[in-house]
Amino acid sequence: MLDGKIALVTGGTRGIGLATARALAEAGATVVLTGRDETKAKEAAAAAGAASGLALDVTDAKAVSTLVRGVAKEHGKLDIVVANAGIMEDALLGMIREELVDTTLSTNVAGTLHTVQAAARAMMRKKTGAIVVLASIVGEHGSAGQTVYAASKAAVANIARSAAKELGRSGIRVNAVAPGVIETDLTSGLTEDAKAENIGKTPLGRLGTPEDVANAIRFLVSDDASFITGQVLGIDGGLVL
Ligand code: NAD
């Protein structure tokens, strides 16, 4: 399905990023996985069947640009980029600290933007490519105690919608996935009561797995999705927030 494709996944050391790197590699792509920590990135790459694991902090625009250019140069092209790196910290409105605003927006919004910009530059030469960014059901509907995260993920969804409009004529598709509650380290702080409440509001009657999201991303970056761009695809079991 993805034979001969060169793919890059940010924040790939665990959770949805790791599952995505594995899914793309299993589908035949040559995958470069990145993480903040080089050792963890190399270990994760080996575990996922990725070609290499590199250190990258997505908040560093110059580092993102240099790494993406380097990957495209080494492999002669770049077909697929998944801007997955992200953080989530809950805080009620009255408890939101400036530092939380800064770290969330610089990682989720600026980090995604840097990745999409660098990907677009690398893909522009061949006039083909597929980019997926990680939005969230929370960014589409809002969530009490998650105002900063929700705002950041609404921005991510609109990065996909806007970039898709700008890059379509260059043969580059940009889509977002908006997962519901997926069982990863990011959501490991949820109490059993909170999990049960979410499952109760989910028609499919369970929480999501990283593979649920990875499989949808694999579809979106494949040629099977060749006429799909600018979409925000919910992967949430029908969860109603
Ligand atoms: P996770 O915490 O397990 O993994 C996130 C990854 O991003 C980690 O590898 C982390 O090291 C990396 N990362 C964080 N900041 C980074 C930075 N500055 N530079 C590079 N890497 C960085 O989380 P996950 O659940 O796998 O989430 C992956 C993405 O999916 C995130 O963008 C998250 O917001 C989004 N998402 C997750 C859920 C969920 O329920 N788990 C729901 C909706 C959206």
The pick from 37, 186, 217 for probing ligand 1's pocket by mutation, whose C-beta has the most ligand atoms within 8 angstroms, reads: 186
Annotated active-site residue 149? The verdict is yes
Report how far ligand 1's centroid is from the alpha carbon of 17 (Å): 7
Given a cut of 70, the residues of the chain with pLDDT beneath it are none
So what's the pLDDT on residue 209?
A: 98
Interval 92-105: pLDDT, tens: 999 999 999 999 99
So what's the pLDDT on residue 80?
A: 99
| Ligand 1 close to Cβ of residue 40 (< 6 A) | no
So what's the pLDDT on residue 93?
A: 98
Interval 213-241: pLDDT, tens: 999 999 999 999 999 999 999 999 999 99
Q: Which of 149, 151, 173, 234 is catalytic?
A: 149
So where are the chain's domains?
6-235
| Ligand 1 close to Cβ of residue 107 (< 6 A) | yes
Q: What is the pTM of this model?
A: 0.99
The pick from 105, 152, 184 for probing ligand 1's pocket by mutation, whose C-beta has the most ligand atoms within 8 angstroms, reads: 184
Report how far ligand 1's centroid is from the alpha carbon of 169 (Å): 30
CATH 3.30.70.20 is held by the domain 6-235: no
Q: Which residues contact 142 (CB under 8 A, 6 or more apart)?
A: 150, 241
